[in-house]
Chain A
Amino acid sequence: MKPNILIITGYGLNCEAESRQAWNMAGAETSLVHLNDLIEQPARLHDAQGLMFIGGFSYGDHMTSGHVFAQRVKHRLQEELARFIAEEKIILGVCNGFQTMTKIGLLPGVDGKYFEQSVALMHNDCGTFQDFWIHVCFEEESPCVFTRDLGPMMLPIRHGEGKLFTLDQGLLDEMEAKHCVACRYIDPATEQPTQEFPHNPNGSLNAIAGLCDPTGRLFGLMPHPEAFLFPENHPHWEQQHLWNEAPAQGDGLKLFQNAVDYLNG
């Protein structure tokens, strides 16, 4: 039986189509459920093995990105989410979904403490929304189930508030020690994490592009793997075709395939 992924929609979220496509291509079933319907029928959550907070502009990014949506989820669905996590299911957040997950307090969840916000995703250092493709690498030692065995890849970023930040150096060290940093921005010339724009598009501390909790089952990232499902999404696909270097499928799909493999045991 295919695992079922519940995708929450509504209030200005807008990546439902490509997110659904990604999971379907990876071999999962998907249900798109409006947040209001989920609040009305929270049991629907437990029919799913995975949950996705998608990208978009929930509440127009007003009062900082993901903030108001996170508050609504936290007020209405906290108990259900706690149960979902306890049942060892998976949650993915992309872009606005990552912002939402940090603001609900699902990430980084060090010490198994959820539902208290401990890190922020704030305005890019450059001060504006940015859309371009960046290079990321995935940390081998991270427990993240989405990023296992993945080499560096290019993915698009499109956000105005993606700078991972905290004033608490101790927390940052702990996140690193527990390998919660699953994904970093790198400079393609050196293949090393970088703080320099544009390779690090937002000034994120430790070049953090994505975080998981210590279990590796909850994961959020700013880049959009669901926008790289087809080889022709890549900005250099023409050249890749000419040199026969084009992948059979978009690299972004691999994150979803990893998750489905995990759920399929």
Chain B
Amino acid sequence: MPTRIEIGLKRGVKDARGNAVVKKAKGFLNLPLRACRTRDVYKLDVRLSRKELTEVRKAFTDPVVAQSAVNRLYVPVFDWLVEVGFKPGVTDNVGRTARALAEDVLNRKLDDGEQVATAVQYFFKGDQLTRGQMLNMARQLLANTLIQTIGIFSPEEWAAHSVDAELPKMPDVPVEVKTYDLSGPDQELLRISREGILSLSLAEMQAIRDYYLRPDIQAARARHGLPVDRPTDLELEALAQTWSEHCSHKIFAAEVDYEDEHGRRETIQSLFKTYIRGATEKVAEQIDWLVSVFVDNAGVIRFNDHLNVTFKCETHNSPSALDPYGGAITGIVGCNRDPMGTGMGSELLCNTWGYCLGSPFYEGEVPEGLFHPRIIRDGVHHGVIDGGNQSGIPYARGFECFDDRYIGKPLVYCGTVGLLPAQINGNPSEEKQVLPGDLIVMAGGRIGKDGIHGATFSSEELRQESPAQAVQIGDPITQRKLYEFIIEARDQGLFRAITDNGAGGLSSSVGEMAEFSGGMDMDLTHAPLKYAGMQPWEMYLSEAQERMTLAVQPEKIEAFLALAARRDVEATALGTFTDSGEMIIRYQDQVIARLDMEFLHDGCPRMRIPALWRKPSPPTPKPSRKGLCNRHLIELMARLNVCSKEYKARMYDHEVKGRTVMKPFTGVQCDIPGDATVLLAEYDTKEGIVVADGINPFYSDLDAYAMAQSCVDAAVRRIISVGGRLDRIAALDNFCWPDPVLSEKTPDGPYKMAQLVRANKGLYDITTAYLTPLISGKDSMKNDSVRGGRKISIPPTLLISTVGKMDDIRRAVSLSFKEPGDLIYVVGLTKNELGASEYFRMLAEEQGTPEHCGGFVPEVNIPEALATYRAMQCAVEQGLLRSSHTPTLGGLGAGFALCALGGDLGTEIDLSAVPCEPDMEPEAILFSESNSRFIVTCRPEKAAALEAVFEGVPLARVGQVADSGELYVTGGMGKNVVHARLNTLRASFKKTLDGI
């Protein structure tokens, strides 16, 4: 008989959780709530004597502030009660912890049938609240009905309601292996693909059908007792997963017919091979610190003679659209597993995050089935906060980028930097090996229905019927235990290779590792499951989290499993790697799948995609009235894409490990976002790791070539700005695109594909010139939503994440002005480049024509940029700089303001001194977003030395730091351009998202 325990805070104890709900409900929904008290509910399906139950209840309860009761705790005065629990099969992390505590109290292991589930109660007080209002609030703020249950009770209903101690249970269904008949006509093949959420095209379905008609295949299948001419469910699912856009990057591998604006045509054989890998191969000819690129879960570069750095960034967009919290926490802990599964396993140094979202203040209609961007934002932050903090990994960089085209699909970027000793047990740490006879071992969490079809689902647009089970919830603590165990096992030499279970689960991880040895033979009979009632194909495809797959030498398996048990980590041998060329899967003494490894990995037919580039030329906004620069700067500082994001960012741990030197927020008041973050690589040296990023989807509206180059330039020059080395920067490329493949639903595919081609060309041209290798990356190519009958496509978005090196972190320079009297210089040429700039978008929005933000998009003058960066390096090495900042959105105007606010020091600037193109208006100089520029300061006595270092680079002294508490900008001949108090600027910068 299940039992229920309710735990609540004692009278007189503040309920911070309840207060937070009231604050949100008032702020976001205008709901007249007066108070909210919360309680935790535990439902135990555990064999307990009465005495044991009391002991368990007591152990669950904090004796100082809480009280508890079996069944019902006394009922407080309330108007409505909302109880939120989990649906069957959903990960209940608190329930898992409670179960572990019960085991400690009872001093015995609970069996699989004995479970603990949790729920939370919210007792609300407020006048004239309706059931409908409560339900709406619960759906928006308290629960996601995709994975959670909501119960709403009036006081009378609650009094009459029987005590509910039932745990959510998965229905037990018999195990069955199905087969698919592929002999039907084309539309039948398409139906099978669609209904099975396989995302296989007709050509792909036909290729699969033809494979099963081959006599050699049929003979091999007959030998294993399989139906000869048709796939089993597991086979078809494994093929669909392996061939999914998500896993095999078909668009980047496709043959592209590209036509540029002059009608010149070319055929590109794979964007990835031509431009991404092609660029890195070219760079590799001139640098010697690449260790492993594009072959492993994360890129690996040499840091010093005994340490390598690994870096990977991922997106988790579709899951975050459906369940922002679960999708995002899975995003970050999933990305952590990439460096963890790189080489022999990296230690995790720091995380990065970045979100592209609709405005949290969006007032338009949100298509049915999608969340309001504010709810997505809250959930995504919460998920990555929990994931990163609980894993004990500090975040180094975070950004938010707002545009209402992200309402259909939010972009959730999560990155992780790892450290890998150059050698482990005397062998190069980046090398992994799988030999025939090695055991296939899965370690970490159990297999559940969570995340089935994640890979294929994210390869589609968001539809009404997108599957609920595509949502997973991460469990950082299970993963932390797994992580520590893996590092321990690695150092003891207990495995030969490792990779993570991400999209596609075992299908992907074992499939990839089996390529090393040339085959696999696996038995799913004893695979550890969260609950009964799973089909073998579901076990194989499950994306249940916190799992790594390892190849363990037979002679090490005993020691491996023993260490796992001591660390409370579940590990199971599931079969062996072979060299047979076959993938064999068994279940209860029967072979249920057999595929040729070669067909699985190389059998997918190649796509051919048209791309047609026609340069768009939207009008510019109408010129603003003269003399509004001051007002415009103050307004611009408050705009969503410029303003402070500190309120949410402070909820992320950025100090754990005690290595941060340049923190995400800097300045006298610690409230100005830094250009790049610097961390100590090791405790006993002064070498630093520098992390930065660049993103600007707005430029894509004019030209994705310039967009890509601007992103790389920003990500590189931010590292330069804090003092990092130009010759040791590596980058990651994360493409998020709307579907660029021409089809009935995407008639503008050729244009979007051309944008992709141009972004790739831009990336190639700049990274090969900068000698900045792309060491890893990812693409997400179906970021469209068709819910509610409305197609919303994201703007083409490229995130460039960079990691760099400093030889001595004591040379790091922040953006804050340091002392009155310091001279302010602008480095680099300011051009009339306001196209798609923050300023033009502000004017265009004010004028009611938001798309009228054309003009010249910022480009990169590569030779001039390189000369500038080399000069910056010299200035840093000679200790000439007191502060350094590189402007991006909002140009010099926002840049001067941030430097002044950072130092809390007044500033006098003469705009007419800024090196710029001829005939530029003051507002153009102030708000142009030209690339490759810096605002730096130095002591007056260092002026000559500084100017000498920048010989040949555009540089001018534009003013000085003052003791005034004001930002004072003149336009030459004393003309007043900006005259604003720092307090005003700071308030404007900080108010927009304060508390939100």
Chain B residues with Cβ under 8 A from A75's Cβ? Answer: 104-105, 107
A57 adjacent to B476 (CB under 8 Å): yes
Interface status of A84 (Cβ within 8 A of chain B): no
Interface status of A115 (Cβ within 8 A of chain B): no
The stretch of B9-17, B169-177, B338-346, B766-774 in contact with A is: B9-17
B390 adjacent to A227 (CB under 8 Å): no
Interface status of B60 (Cβ within 8 A of chain A): yes
The stretch of B400-408, B502-510, B657-665, B702-710 in contact with A is: B657-665
B653 adjacent to A242 (CB under 8 Å): no
Nearest B residue to A56 via CB reads B392
B657 adjacent to A57 (CB under 8 Å): no
A12 adjacent to B477 (CB under 8 Å): yes
Given contacts A67-B62, A233-B658, contact A131 B810 (CB under 8 A): no
Report how far A126 CA is from B661 CA in the complex, Å: 27
B656 adjacent to A62 (CB under 8 Å): no
Q: A119-144: which residues lie under 8 A (CB-CB) from chain B?
A: 119-120, 122-133
The stretch of A14-22, A45-53, A206-214, A254-262 in contact with B is: A14-22
Interface status of B144 (Cβ within 8 A of chain A): no
Interface status of B574 (Cβ within 8 A of chain A): no
Q: B9-27: which residues lie under 8 A (CB-CB) from chain A?
A: 10, 12-14, 16-17, 19-20, 23
- By CB atoms of chain B within 10 A, which of A124, A128, A229 has the most? A128
Interface status of A194 (Cβ within 8 A of chain B): no
Report how far A124 CA is from B392 CA in the complex, Å: 20
B683 adjacent to A21 (CB under 8 Å): yes
B97 adjacent to A63 (CB under 8 Å): yes
Report how far A68 CA is from B62 CA in the complex, Å: 10
Given contacts A18-B658, A120-B64, A165-B64, contact A11 B477 (CB under 8 A): yes
Report how far A124 CA is from B650 CA in the complex, Å: 14
Chain B residues with Cβ under 8 A from A238's Cβ? Answer: 812-814, 816, 818
Contacting residue for A71 out of B104, B661, B666, CB 8 A:
B104
Interface status of A72 (Cβ within 8 A of chain B): yes
Report how far A226 CA is from B658 CA in the complex, Å: 7
Contact flags (1/0) for B634-659 with A, using CB distance below 8 Å? 00000000000000001111111111
Report how far A167 CA is from B104 CA in the complex, Å: 29
Report how far A133 CA is from B105 CA in the complex, Å: 38
Chain A residues with Cβ under 8 A from B481's Cβ? Answer: 10-12
A123 adjacent to B17 (CB under 8 Å): yes
Nearest B residue to A133 via CB reads B670
A60 adjacent to B683 (CB under 8 Å): no
Interface status of A228 (Cβ within 8 A of chain B): yes
Interface status of A55 (Cβ within 8 A of chain B): yes
B389 adjacent to A236 (CB under 8 Å): no
Nearest A residue to B11 via CB reads A167
Interface status of A235 (Cβ within 8 A of chain B): yes
Interface status of B809 (Cβ within 8 A of chain A): yes
Report how far A165 CA is from B63 CA in the complex, Å: 12
- Give B873 Cβ to nearest chain A Cβ, in Å: 19
Report how far A103 CA is from B66 CA in the complex, Å: 13
Report how far A148 CA is from B660 CA in the complex, Å: 27
- By CB atoms of chain B within 10 A, which of A12, A18, A36, A61 has the most? A12
Interface status of B819 (Cβ within 8 A of chain A): yes
A158 adjacent to B16 (CB under 8 Å): no
Interface status of B93 (Cβ within 8 A of chain A): yes
A71 adjacent to B93 (CB under 8 Å): no
Report how far A67 CA is from B58 CA in the complex, Å: 12
Interface status of B295 (Cβ within 8 A of chain A): no
Report how far A10 CA is from B483 CA in the complex, Å: 11
B567 adjacent to A10 (CB under 8 Å): yes
- Give A229 Cβ to nearest chain B Cβ, in Å: 6
A71 adjacent to B105 (CB under 8 Å): yes
- By CB atoms of chain B within 10 A, which of A55, A57, A125 has the most? A57
Report how far A75 CA is from B107 CA in the complex, Å: 9
Given contacts A227-B656, A235-B666, A241-B810, contact A14 B651 (CB under 8 A): no
Contacting residue for A60 out of B40, B97, B661, B809, CB 8 A:
B97
Chain B residues with Cβ under 8 A from A10's Cβ? Answer: 481, 484, 567-568
A71 adjacent to B20 (CB under 8 Å): no
- Give B579 Cβ to nearest chain A Cβ, in Å: 38
Q: A1-44: which residues lie under 8 A (CB-CB) from chain B?
A: 9-15, 17-18, 21, 34, 36-37, 40
Interface status of A78 (Cβ within 8 A of chain B): no
A59 adjacent to B64 (CB under 8 Å): no
Q: Total A-B residue pairs with C-beta atoms closer than 8 Å?
A: 180
Interface status of A100 (Cβ within 8 A of chain B): no
B658 adjacent to A224 (CB under 8 Å): yes
Report how far A122 CA is from B14 CA in the complex, Å: 9
Chain A residues with Cβ under 8 A from B809's Cβ? Answer: 232
B100 adjacent to A14 (CB under 8 Å): no
A57 adjacent to B818 (CB under 8 Å): no
Contact flags (1/0) for B357-382 with A, using CB distance below 8 Å? 00000000000000000000000000
Report how far A66 CA is from B651 CA in the complex, Å: 19
A128 adjacent to B656 (CB under 8 Å): no
Chain B residues with Cβ under 8 A from A241's Cβ? Answer: 810
Contacting residue for A14 out of B60, B392, B666, CB 8 A:
B392
Report how far A122 CA is from B63 CA in the complex, Å: 12
A72 adjacent to B658 (CB under 8 Å): no
Given contacts A129-B389, A158-B653, contact A233 B477 (CB under 8 A): no
B94 adjacent to A167 (CB under 8 Å): no
- Give A148 Cβ to nearest chain B Cβ, in Å: 23
Chain A residues with Cβ under 8 A from B550's Cβ? Answer: none
A63 adjacent to B64 (CB under 8 Å): no
Contact flags (1/0) for B57-77 with A, using CB distance below 8 Å? 001101111000000000000
Contact flags (1/0) for A51-92 with B, using CB distance below 8 Å? 000011101111110011001100110000000000000000
Chain B residues with Cβ under 8 A from A15's Cβ? Answer: 392, 656-657
Contact flags (1/0) for A89-132 with B, using CB distance below 8 Å? 00000000000000100000000000001111011111111111
Nearest A residue to B809 via CB reads A232
- Give A88 Cβ to nearest chain B Cβ, in Å: 27
Chain B residues with Cβ under 8 A from A195's Cβ? Answer: none
B668 adjacent to A14 (CB under 8 Å): no
Q: B694-728: which residues lie under 8 A (CB-CB) from chain A?
A: none
Chain A residues with Cβ under 8 A from B567's Cβ? Answer: 10, 34, 36
A130 adjacent to B650 (CB under 8 Å): yes
Chain A residues with Cβ under 8 A from B670's Cβ? Answer: 132-133, 235
- By CB atoms of chain B within 10 A, which of A14, A15, A133, A241 has the most? A14
Report how far A253 CA is from B160 CA in the complex, Å: 60
B658 adjacent to A21 (CB under 8 Å): yes
Chain A residues with Cβ under 8 A from B93's Cβ? Answer: 60, 62
Given contacts A12-B390, A75-B104, A238-B818, contact A122 B650 (CB under 8 A): no
Report how far A63 CA is from B818 CA in the complex, Å: 46
Contact flags (1/0) for A238-260 with B, using CB distance below 8 Å? 11011000000000000000000
Report how far A72 CA is from B63 CA in the complex, Å: 16
Interface status of B800 (Cβ within 8 A of chain A): no
Interface status of B882 (Cβ within 8 A of chain A): yes
Q: B442-501: which residues lie under 8 A (CB-CB) from chain A?
A: 475-477, 480-481, 484
The 4 closest A-B pairs by CB, nearest first: A14-B392, A123-B16, A18-B658, A127-B20
**19 pairs from A and B in contact (CB 8 Å cutoff):** A15-B656, A59-B477, A60-B94, A60-B390, A62-B98, A71-B104, A123-B14, A127-B23, A129-B385, A129-B652, A130-B650, A130-B651, A156-B655, A167-B12, A226-B658, A227-B655, A227-B656, A230-B680, A235-B663
* A residues in contact (CB < 8 Å) with B: 9-15, 17-18, 21, 34, 36-37, 40, 55-57, 59-64, 67-68, 71-72, 75-76, 103, 117-120, 122-133, 156, 158, 165-167, 203, 224, 226-230, 232-233, 235-239, 241-242
* B residues in contact (CB < 8 Å) with A: 10, 12-14, 16-17, 19-20, 23, 40, 59-60, 62-65, 93-94, 97-98, 100-101, 104-105, 107, 385, 389-393, 475-477, 480-481, 484, 566-568, 650-661, 663, 666, 668, 670, 680, 683, 809-810, 812-814, 816, 818-819, 882
Kindly list 7 other residue pairs between chains A and B, CB separation below 8 angstroms, not including A122-B65, A128-B651, A229-B658: A18-B658, A18-B659, A118-B64, A123-B17, A129-B385, A158-B656, A229-B683
